[in-house]
Structure 1
Amino acid sequence: MLLGIIAGLTTCALWGLTFVAPRAVAPFTAWDLTIARYGIFGLACLVLMIDRRFRPAGMAPSRLLVGLLLGGAGYVGYFVSAAFAVQLAGAAIPPVIVGTMPVLLAIIANIRDRSAPWQVLAFPLMLIAVGVAIVNIATIRTADPSTKATITLGILASFVALAIWIVYGLANAAVMQSADAPDGLQWTGLQGIGAALGSLLLLPLASFDLVDTASISDVANFAGWALLMGLGGSWFATWCWVIASRRLPLVLSAQLIVAETLFGLAYGFSFEARLPSSAEAIGAALQFVGVCAAVATFSKRPIRPVAKFISRMNASQRRPHER
């Protein structure tokens, strides 16, 4: 179990980098980082496929297409949305909004299966809503009037990232719940190639002019972050999560996902060299407690449909992040 906890926290620590990496690579842009990150991810997956254990062999053409599309749309779409969210809205808002994902997936499962009374969920859901609202309202109120529109766009980008994450998660879970579910690492490799192909579509948006104007230190910094996000935040994080989901009970592995929010906030505030404001701290704490309470409510109920749904989600999650 200790190895599972370490692996799960490692995954969340790497996924949390999604909320600081786009700002850390300046003067390079989020487009540049997306292209480099997923190009490296896809290349790593191709190299691993030299070993037949990593090859998605025996999959139907339709399944291969789904895997490529999930990688292209899910990974790239999520990371681009999250990247612009942190650039526009700052350190606190995006991790708090995206951090509601475990509960929203459980709610979707509950709507479908009616496995938990809604009155039991009312209190944790209220905590989450209040926490998210406090962070958003406080950030907008304290912002300079000229930046309020920018922050609002960042909030919208955060919700877009959350929506992409959920749609990806549901589609991915449907594949992993099928009778002929693919091997986890083979499925990850296929999606890694899809993410690389999807990132190629962004090449026209790359900052090619920086090749001549960026300093050597800027290029080295960008290369380091691209390698970290491509190899660490994508492939290695997924592998760690597979280990965690296989070694930990559902009640623990589901709640470990919430650690991504804490890592994301910590990275963001460290990057901005500041402590969270009282409103940010209170709002994030309410959201964290609410998510933990809601996930625990689902996890401790002996209802198979929801338990199976969340367990499959835990075993099959691949982040744009990053994850």
Structure 2
Amino acid sequence: MWAGVAFALAAGLMWGLVFVGPLLLPEYPPALHTVGRYLAFGLIALPLGWFDRAELARLTRVDWIEALKLATVGNLLYYLCLASAIQRAGAPLPTMIIGTLPVVIAISANLRDHRRDGRLPWTRLLPSLLAIGAGIACVNRVELAALGADVDPARYASGALLALGAVACWTWYPLRNADWLRDHPGRNPRAWATAQGLATLPLALAGYAALWAWLAARGSTLPMPLGPRPLAFVGLMAAIGLFASWLGTLCWNAASQRLPTALAGQLIVFETLAALAYAFLLRGEWPAPLTFAGAGLLVAGVLWAVRSAPQKDTGMPAEAH
């Protein structure tokens, strides 16, 4: 279990990078951030696929279709929603909404996968969920207060809706990804991460071409294909593609093979903590005391969840759990 927690922590540290990418290049539209990131992910996956060619050859047509679905929803659609939300509402609101993922996934997995993974009794799960929810509320109260009154309500609301769309995508993705990994326990998590990168590549290429044509049709002044700061764009996309996309997915796959889905879902809280830490580093300031308190509650909730062992169903009514 602790190896799974370590892999989930590593994934969270790398996934936190995606929250600062749109802030580092604000002049780039969210769609270009999305296709740029996953084009880099796909290109990185090509040489990695050569090393995993024997393992990839074992994948069936059904497996590749599943990788394509996961790439579409968990990669492209999720990041398009997230990057758009960050640029429309700023980082705090999307961080708050994405931060609810541990709660949403844990509840979904407890309802959906209890026959396979065992049921985390609600009486034991509830304190963890409450601590995580309270921690997220504390952290984001500070962040939302910093926004002030100079906010366009319509733009802010659209950012909130897009962040909810990202939550929906990333509630579906880990549940579906865990299904495949648990159904194929002998498969290499690295190869499955690479397969998702290879499945993403044609989608990202098509998206890049479509975006370029759309911008040209609109008479956009954005210089394509690499925008106004090509070196910064290529470097950032390569870093996020390697660390957040491929290596983060590899670590998450390894965690998903070792942990019940309900527990793994709560460990996505590490992504929220990492995103907040990177945001404060980018600002060059220390978090407020309430932010520290919120981070402590998040960590306490995670530790409580890890200590709770799932109970296998015994055919008893749900109330007995």
Quickly name the TM-score band, shorter chain normalised: 0.7 to 0.9
CA displacement at 1:192 relative to structure 2 = 0.9
Q: Following the alignment from structure 2 to structure 1, what is the Cα–Cα distance between the partners of residues 256 and 137?
A: 31
1:29 maps to: 29
TM-score, normalized by length of structure 2?
0.76
| Deviation by residue 1:208-255 (Cα, 9 ceiling, x = unmatched) | 743379887x21111110100112221122334456678999999877
Q: Following the alignment from structure 1 to structure 2, what is the Cα–Cα distance between the partners of residues 59 and 66?
A: 10
Q: Following the alignment from structure 1 to structure 2, what is the Cα–Cα distance between the partners of residues 52 and 196?
A: 17
CA displacement at 1:75 relative to structure 2 = 0.7
Q: Following the alignment from structure 1 to structure 2, what is the Cα–Cα distance between the partners of residues 73 and 222?
A: 24
Q: Following the alignment from structure 1 to structure 2, what is the Cα–Cα distance between the partners of residues 226 and 79?
A: 13
2:171 maps to: 166
CA contact (8 A) 1:71 1:190 kept: no
2:40 maps to: 40
| Deviation by residue 1:270-292 (Cα, 9 ceiling, x = unmatched) | 33444445665555554454344
- Identify if the C-alpha distance between structure 1 residues 161 and 104 changes in structure 2 by more than 3 Å, giving closer, same or farther: same
Question: Does 2:246 align with 1:235?
Answer: yes
1:258 maps to: 269
Count of residue correspondences: 301
2:279 maps to: 268
CA contact (8 A) 1:38 1:230 kept: yes
CA contact (8 A) 2:178 2:257 kept: no
- Identify if the C-alpha distance between structure 1 residues 155 and 132 changes in structure 2 by more than 3 Å, giving closer, same or farther: farther
Aligned letter for 1:271? L
Q: Following the alignment from structure 1 to structure 2, what is the Cα–Cα distance between the partners of residues 4 and 119?
A: 24
CA contact (8 A) 2:44 2:242 kept: yes
1:205 maps to: 211
After TM superposition, the structure 1 = structure 2 runs for residues 74-223 of structure 1, keeping only pairs within 5 Å, are 74-112=74-112, 113=114, 115-133=119-137, 143-144=148-149, 146-178=151-183, 182-203=187-208, 204-206=210-212, 209-211=221-223, 218-223=229-234
Question: Does 2:279 align with 1:303?
Answer: no
- Identify if the C-alpha distance between structure 1 residues 284 and 239 changes in structure 2 by more than 3 Å, giving closer, same or farther: same
Consecutive unaligned residues of structure 2, counting only runs of 5 or more, are 314-321
- Identify if the C-alpha distance between structure 1 residues 280 and 92 changes in structure 2 by more than 3 Å, giving closer, same or farther: farther
CA displacement at 1:66 relative to structure 2 = 1.5
- Identify if the C-alpha distance between structure 1 residues 25 and 156 changes in structure 2 by more than 3 Å, giving closer, same or farther: same
CA contact (8 A) 1:42 1:193 kept: yes
Aligned letter for 2:240? M
CA contact (8 A) 1:4 1:245 kept: yes
Q: Following the alignment from structure 2 to structure 1, what is the Cα–Cα distance between the partners of residues 96 and 233?
A: 26
CA contact (8 A) 2:77 2:166 kept: yes
Consecutive unaligned residues of structure 1, counting only runs of 5 or more, are 306-323
* Bigger shift: residues 37-46 or 242-251: 242-251
1:11 maps to: 11
